[in-house]
Each structure stands twice: as C-alpha cells, then as structure tokens.
Structure 1
Amino acid sequence: MLIIFESILPIFLLVLLGVALRRSPLLNESLWPGLEQLGYYVLFPSLLFLTLAQADFSGMETGTISLVSILAVLVMSALVFALWPVLARAGVRPAAYTSLFQTATRWNAFIALAVAEKLAGSQGLAIVALVMAVIIIPINLINVGMLVWFSGASRDLRVFVVKIVTNPLIIGCALGLLVNLAQIPIYEPLMVTVDLVARASLGLGLIMVGAGLRISDALRPHSVALVSVLLKLLAFPALMTGIGLAFGIHGQPLVLLALSAGVPTAMNGYVLAKQMGGDAALYAAAATIQTAISFVTIPVVLTAATYVAGG
C-alpha cells in the first residue's frame, strides 16, 4: 500500500498547493473564477475529447465496463434514497438530504483521471474517461431530479435538457467517442493544439480542487457530512468492485472502476445545491472532509481492489 500511496502523493500535494494558493496574498481573489471557467469550458473538455478520441478500446471490455458503471450508479442512488425515511425520522431536513445524496453519488473526475494516469498511463486514462462518459448524464439526471423533488425547485424540463446537452464535459466526451468510433480523421496540427491544451488540465484541475475546498465549513462537521464519507469513500467503491466481479471484470480494469467510485465528490454539486435549494454549506463541508480523508482511503481502496482483482 505504501507504493500506491507514494505514487499518488504528488496528486494530493497539488490539491494542498491549491489550498495554500487560495489563502495566499500572492494571488488576487478575482483570479479564481476565471481559472474555474477556463478549466470547465476549455481545458477539461479538451482532455476528455483527446483521451476518448485516441483511446484503443479494442482490447477493453467496453460494453461490460459501461454496464457495470451505470448499474453501480443506479444501485448506489437507490441505496441512498432508501436511507431517506431513516434520516427523516432522525431530523435530517430535505435540503440537507439532497446534499448527502449528491456527495454520495457524484465523483471528482479530476482526481480520478490524475490517479489513473499515474497508475496505468494512457490506458488508465481511457478507462476512467469511458466511465465518465457513460455515467455523467445519468448522475446529473438523478441528482437534479432529487433536488427538484425534495427542494421544490423549478421543474422546467426544457431548461434542464438545455443544461445537459450544453454541458462542456458531456460535449467533450460525446465528440471524442464520435471521432473514435466513426474513425473520423482530424487534421494533425489541430490534434497537437488540443493535446497542448489538454496537458494543462490535470495540474490546474487539481489545484482548483484544493482552491475550492472550504476548510471553515469542514471544521464544524454535520453528522450527515460524516455519513457521506462512509457512503462515498467506502460503500461506493465496494459496490462498484462487487458488481464488476459479478460481471467477470478482473485485473487493472476492476481496479480503475474501484478508483472511479472511490474518489471524493465533485465540487460542482455545490453550485447546484446553491441554485436549487439544497444545503450548500453542508455540501461544501462534506466535499472538504471527503477530499481530506481520501488521502488515506484511496490507497486502501486501490490496495483492496488490486487484491481481489488478482493483482
């Protein structure tokens, strides 16, 4: 496990660098929103497009990996939904529950892709990008649906559909898969340009993860935030691994599936919680606590998955 921890330590050091830079007087506070938009609209979609466009799926269990990923998301969502009556009796408010639901089912693709590249190179990137491509729409549909149901937010279906189809991450995944599967030739200088843009995405993305953490909220953790840690960092990867084994996936693909489920939640759900009547402060606290604890749990998850995968 020490070898795994040391191999991914640079990733967490970049997250810590983001924490330090956000609180440093060296950088103006107005810089961060622009960097977030640059990463969201340009850098990260470029990485997803390039990874999926150039991925070699020939030796990969593409269909099975996709099915396992979707099933794991659906089962995990059903599990968290089944907890609502118990939590409601314990006094958990609907707004707080929606943040628990989001933080238990969303995942931080920046961290997953960075760890995958460190552990398995381009093939690792391809598998995690494939997982992201097939679950990004179901996860958003489910989470937005839960927010609408529990918070009474706007139920305008047209607005919701527009948000989904114009999501730059979804567009990047869709275009990358289209180019790959249809074998569409891309002008080489253009691909080199996209590659140069994509190279900046993971480093900056990890720094932005750290910059987005809200330490003050995490210092006063709500019990619901701690429940989200158990669900997201332990239950979800165990569930993903179990479903993967049931469908005959072994070796490195199984380890990367466990990784995809075992990373902390994504910070973009904070904005959604704020806009749609969820508990944004609780979301921020849960995301921060998960990210801190994942420094330990990700190596544990990867070690356990490697063992059961036959590695």
Structure 2
Amino acid sequence: MQALTDAILPVFVLIGFGWIAAWRGLFGETAVDGCMKFAQSFGIPALLFIQLSRLDLGQTFSLGLLVSFYAGAFAGFALGFGAARAVGRPPVDSVAVGFCCLFSNSMLLGVPITERAFGADAVPGALSIVAVHSPILYSFGILAMELAKSRGQNVPGPRLAMQVVGGILRTPIVLGVALGMAVNVTGLPMPDPLVQGIELLARAAIPVALFGLGGVLWRYRPEGDMRLIGVVVFASLVVHPVIAYGLGHFVFGLAPNHLRPGVLLASMAPGANAYLYANMYGVGRRIAASSVLVATALSILTSWAWIGLLP
C-alpha cells in the first residue's frame, strides 16, 4: 500500500488535476495543447539533454536491460498488428494499432514512478531506456507505416529512407538525446548560465507534461473497436512487462537497479505519442485515444502490482 500512496498516486493526482481543470472548462484545449507542446518540444528534450550529458555511460547502459525491454515492446507490436489484420483492418490501420502496443509512456509516467518507488539509483537505468526509446520506436514506426502506405506502389528505396530519416530528425526528443550524448562523449564544456537555464527548463518538464496529459485524457472517450482496444491494453500492461521480467530475470540475471526500471517502464500504458502518431497519419485514431485512456487508468493498479513483485 505504501508503494501506491508514495510512488504512484502523487503522479496520477497531478494528472487528475489536469483532467479536472479541462473537465470544468478552467483549462481550454488551446492551453492543454500548449502544455503538451512545451513539454514534448522543449521541456523533455531539455531534461534528457541534461540527464544524458551527465550519465556515466559505461555504468548505465546494459545490453540485457535494453534487449529485455525492447523484445517485449516489439512482441506487443506483433500482437497488435496481427490482431488488427485478423479482424480485417487494412495494413495502415494495423500498423497504428501495433504502434500503440509498442510505445509505452516511459518518460512521463515510467521515470517519475520509478524514481519515487525505487529511488535515484534506479533512474539511470530508466534513462538508458528513454535515451533510445524515441529513436528506435519512431524509426521502426515510421518505417512500418511508410512500407504499409507504399504497398503495391513500388516506392524507391532512397525516397523511403529519406522519409524515415526526415521523420526521425523532426522529433525534438531525439534531438535532445543526440545533443546530450554528444556533450557526454566529447566532454564539451558549457557555460554555467546556459546550463542553469536549461536546468530551469528541465525542472518544469514532468509537472507540466503530467498536468497537460490529464487535459489530453479528458478529450478521449472509450469508443471504437473494443476488441482491439482490449488487445492494446493487454499487450501494454501484461505482455510487455512479463517478457521484460522473464528475459531480465531468468535470461540476463539483471541487477535490481536494472531489472526494476526495465520492468516498470515496460508496464506503463501507451503514451500520448501513440495517439499523436495515429493522428499524424490519420489512421486508427479512435483506438489509439481510447487505448491511452483505458490503459492509463488501469496502470495505477498494474504498476502497483509490479512494484510489489519486483525484488
């Protein structure tokens, strides 16, 4: 019970404040969009830049941790894509459903819950996942969607490659990760006023993002194909963390400071980026929106259960 009250509920209380503000009309859609735009384009990239520029990369990154987490993520994509095709959805819709199963809310929910549940020692492991989360999953998602869209159209390989690379480079979070890693590896000194300004920006990222996420969730309604919504929720909250735990514990024998963040981040609901991805391509939007809403609500219980099960 202490894990629920100390680690999980404060995060969801902040989301709830945003939800109530949007519900009561105290925070309009334009303001909500502004919050999310700030968080995703400025605050979170700044946070990742600062954190990654200071990480001890040799101690933080673990191949076993990354394989455990991402094997579960791609298994979720395969389950979602296959289920959508099985009920007659076209390939582009199926890719959008699969992406919902693939992209967990590791940054906005996973990192703060991990820190509150397991302390600062677990944060570097979580950040090692986040550092490659958007680059890997967006690269795969954009490639899969472009392949589905170009099916039967014989799109040249170089053009397809340019579409994928362009989509990745336009992602601010990817830029924040790349710049933070570059500073870390090169040891490039930065002026103190610049660092302090970026730190101020980074401190606002998570609170603003969680409050804005509450407003975003207010817009969503559980509608669409409930079978596929159920598949997304099952893949995100059950399949992904079970695979991450099985591989991390039994195959790689990960230390607790790697196993805990790996499994806990894997157990998070699909992030708002899952809906933004579907909206970007104009496919599977109702399923994505409803899946984010339902899975985020249920993740209060599933993350509590995983915190109790982890060593």
Question: TM-score when scaled to structure 2?
Answer: 0.87
The range that moved more, 194-203 or 129-138, is 129-138
Residue 280 (structure 1) aligned with residue 285 (structure 2): yes
1:127-276 maps to which residues of 2 (within 5 A)? Answer: 127-151=125-149, 156-157=159-160, 158-214=162-218, 217-218=221-222, 222-245=226-249, 246-276=251-281
1:80-119 maps to which residues of 2 (within 5 A)? Answer: 80-81=80-81, 83-84=82-83, 87-108=84-105, 109-119=107-117
Query: What displacement does 1:260 show?
Result: 1.3
Give ranges in structure 1 of 5+ residues lacking alignment.
none
**Is the alpha carbon distance of 1:71 and 1:220 closer, same or farther for their aligned partners in structure 2, counting shifts above 3 Å?**
closer
Q: Is the 8 A contact 1:128 1:257 kept in 2?
A: yes
**Is the alpha carbon distance of 1:17 and 1:220 closer, same or farther for their aligned partners in structure 2, counting shifts above 3 Å?**
farther
Look up the SS of the partner of 1:30 in the other structure. helix
Q: Is the 8 A contact 1:221 1:285 kept in 2?
A: no
**Is the alpha carbon distance of 1:215 and 1:276 closer, same or farther for their aligned partners in structure 2, counting shifts above 3 Å?**
closer
**Is the alpha carbon distance of 1:41 and 1:26 closer, same or farther for their aligned partners in structure 2, counting shifts above 3 Å?**
same
Partner of 1:3: 2
- What is the percentage of aligned positions where both structures have the same residue? 22
Question: TM-score when scaled to structure 1?
Answer: 0.87
Q: Is the 8 A contact 2:77 2:99 kept in 1?
A: no
Q: Distance in 1 between the 2:117 and 2:12 partners? A: 14
The range that moved more, 240-249 or 117-126, is 117-126
Residue 33 (structure 1) aligned with residue 30 (structure 2): no
The one-character-per-residue Cα deviations of 1:143-202 (angstroms, maximum 9, x if unpaired) are 223333445599653233122123110111122122223333222232222111111111
Look up the SS of the partner of 1:283 in the other structure. helix
**Is the alpha carbon distance of 1:95 and 1:136 closer, same or farther for their aligned partners in structure 2, counting shifts above 3 Å?**
same
Query: What displacement does 1:290 show?
Result: 0.6
Query: What displacement does 1:23 show?
Result: 2.0
The one-character-per-residue Cα deviations of 1:36-71 (angstroms, maximum 9, x if unpaired) are 221111111011111111223454453433343344
**How many equivalent residue pairs?**
302
Q: Is the 8 A contact 1:98 1:146 kept in 2?
A: yes
Q: Is the 8 A contact 2:241 2:263 kept in 1?
A: yes
